[in-house]
C-alpha cells in the first residue's frame, strides 16, 4: 500500500481493485517485453505481427494506471520524460517504455535492400513544399505544408526512414502506406510531374534519379518515392486548404495533428473540414471511434474508452501521445530552415 493510501485510511474496494489491476498490468507488460527480448536475442522465430502484443500490453498498463489515478488521485506522480500526462503514466516505469521503443526499433528495422536518403528530413520538406506550390499555394502556405508534412513523418515512423511495421503486414515505409495507396500516389505524381519540373528543375532531376534507382523495388522502401507517393495519395488534396487550416488552428502542433487524422480517419476528417465548423464537428460512429483507439486516442482508462463521440477539438486534445514527436519535427524543421537561410547568404 502506498503511503498516500495509508494516510487516507483503508482503501475502498474500488481502490484496491484498481491497484491490483495495475500491478497485474505492469507484470503482464514486463512479461511480454522479456519474452520478445529473449526471442530476439536467441534468434527464435517471431509470431505474426510481433509488435501487437507489446502494444496491447503497453495500452493495458497505461489504462490500468489511469483507472488507478481516477480512483485514487493521490497516485498521480511526477512528470515523465516522454511528456505523457502523469495521470496516465508512472514515471518510475520509464525503463519499460525505453525497452518497448528499443524492441520496436528492432522489429521495424528497414529491410536490407531499402534505399535510404542522406537527407531524409529535408526530402520530406522539399517534396511537400513543391507539391504545395504546384497546387497553387504561395510561399508562406507552401512552407506550412512542408512543416506539417515533416510532422507526419515523425508521427508515422518516429523520424525513421524505410521502416517496417510490427503491428501490420500492410503498412510499411517512411509514411506507412499500403500498396494501393502507394500506387495511387505514383499515378497522381505522374500527372503533375511537368508542373513540378517547371517549378523546381533540380528537384525534378532528383526525382528522376530516385525513380531509376528504385527500379522494381517496392517504392515504399525508397525514402524519396515513399514520401512523395504518400503525400500525393491523400494529403495533396488538403494542401489548398492549408491557409484556412492555419487560421483555424494557429498552433503548429494542432495543424500536424489534423493532418495525422487524415492518416487515421481520412473521410471523417475531410467531412469536418467541409463542415464550416472544424473544431466543433462531432464524430460518433463506433467504427471510427475504434480506429482512434487503435491509434492511442481515447485508448487509456475506462473513462476514455467509454466515450461514444468526440469533437475534432476533443480528439486533437486527446492526441497528446503525438506531442513529443511533433515537437521534434518542429525543431528539425527550424534546423532545415536555418540551413537554407545559410545557403542563401553565402
CB 298 within 8 A of CB 321: no
CB 144 within 8 A of CB 333: no
Q: Which spans in the chain are helix H?
A: 3-7, 13-41, 52-71, 94-107, 120-134, 139-157, 179-199, 201-214, 223-233, 242-248, 252-264, 266-274, 286-293, 301-305, 312-318, 323-345
Alpha-carbon distance values, 137 to 129, 150, 312 (Å): 9, 17, 25
pLDDT digits (tens, 9 = 90+) for 300-316: 999 999 999 999 999 99
pTM of the model: 0.91
Retrieve residue 165's grid coordinates: 511495421
Phi, psi of 172 (to 5 degrees): -150, 170
How does the average pLDDT of the chain come out, rounded? 94
Q: How many Å apart are CA 96 and CA 101, to the nearest integer?
A: 9
First and final C-alpha spacing in the chain: 65
pLDDT in tens, the chain (346 residues): 444 444 456 889 999 999 999 999 999 999 999 999 999 999 999 999 999 999 999 999 999 999 999 999 999 999 999 999 999 999 999 999 999 999 999 999 999 999 999 999 999 999 999 999 999 999 999 999 999 999 999 999 999 999 999 999 999 999 999 999 999 999 999 999 999 999 999 999 999 999 999 999 999 999 999 999 999 998 899 999 999 999 999 999 999 999 999 889 999 999 999 999 999 999 999 999 999 999 999 999 999 999 999 999 999 999 999 999 999 999 999 999 998 755 444 4
pLDDT digits (tens, 9 = 90+) for 209-232: 999 999 999 999 999 999 999 999
pLDDT digits (tens, 9 = 90+) for 80-97: 999 999 999 999 999 999
Amino acid at each position: 500500500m502506498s503511503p498516500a493510501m495509508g494516510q487516507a485510511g483503508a482503501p475502498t474496494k474500488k481502490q484496491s481493485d484498481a491497484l491490483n489491476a495495475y500491478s497485474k498490468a505492469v507484470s503482464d507488460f514486463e512479461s511480454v517485453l522479456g519474452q520478445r527480448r529473449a526471442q530476439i536475442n536467441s534468434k527464435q522465430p517471431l509470431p505474426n505481427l510481433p509488435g501487437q502484443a507489446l502494444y496491447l500490453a503497453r495500452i493495458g498498463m497505461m489504462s490500468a494506471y489511469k483507472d488507478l489515478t481516477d480512483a485514487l488521485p493521490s497516485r498521480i506522480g511526477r512528470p515523465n520524460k516522454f511528456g505523457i500526462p502523469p495521470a496516465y503514466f508512472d514515471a518510475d516505469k520509464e525503463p519499460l517504455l525505453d525497452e518497448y521503443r528499443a524492441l520496436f526499433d528492432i522489429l521495424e528495422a528497414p529491410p536490407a535492400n531499402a534505399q535510404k536518403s542522406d537527407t531524409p528530413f529535408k526530402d520530406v520538406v522539399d517534396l511537400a513544399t513543391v507539391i504545395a506550390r504546384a497546387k497553387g499555394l504561395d510561399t508562406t502556405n507552401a512552407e506550412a505544408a512542408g512543416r506539417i508534412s515533416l510532422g507526419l513523418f515523425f508521427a508515422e515512423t518516429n523520424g525513421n526512414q524505410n521502416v517496417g511495421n510490427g503491428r501490420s503486414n500492410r503498412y510499411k515505409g517512411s509514411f506507412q502506406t499500403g500498396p494501393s495507396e502507394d500506387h495511387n500516389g505514383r499515378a497522381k505524381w505522374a500527372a503533375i510531374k511537368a508542373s513540378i519540373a517547371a517549378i523546381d528543375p533540380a528537384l525534378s532531376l532528383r526525382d528522376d534519379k530516385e525513380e531509376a534507382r528504385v527500379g522494381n523495388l517496392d517504392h515504399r522502401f525508397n525514402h524519396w518515392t515513399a514520401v512523395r507517393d504518400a503525400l500525393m495519395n491523400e494529403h495533396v488534396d488538403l494542401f489548398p486548404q492549408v491557409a484556412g487550416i492555419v487560421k483555424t488552428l494557429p498552433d503548429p502542433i494542432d495543424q500536424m495533428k489534423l493532418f495525422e487524422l487524415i492518416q487515421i480517419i481520412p473521410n471523417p476528417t475531410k467531412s469536418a473540414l467541409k463542415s464550416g465548423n472544424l473544431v466543433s464537428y462531432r464524430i460518433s460512429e463506433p467504427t471510427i471511434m475504434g480506429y482512434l483507439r487503435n491509434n492511442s486516442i481515447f485508448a487509456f482508462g475506462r473513462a476514455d474508452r467509454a466515450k461514444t463521440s468526440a469533437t475534432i477539438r476533443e480528439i486533437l486534445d486527446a492526441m497528446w501521445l503525438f506531442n513529443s514527436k511533433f515537437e521534434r519535427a518542429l525543431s528539425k524543421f527550424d534546423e532545415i530552415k536555418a540551413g537554407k537561410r545559410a545557403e542563401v547568404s553565402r
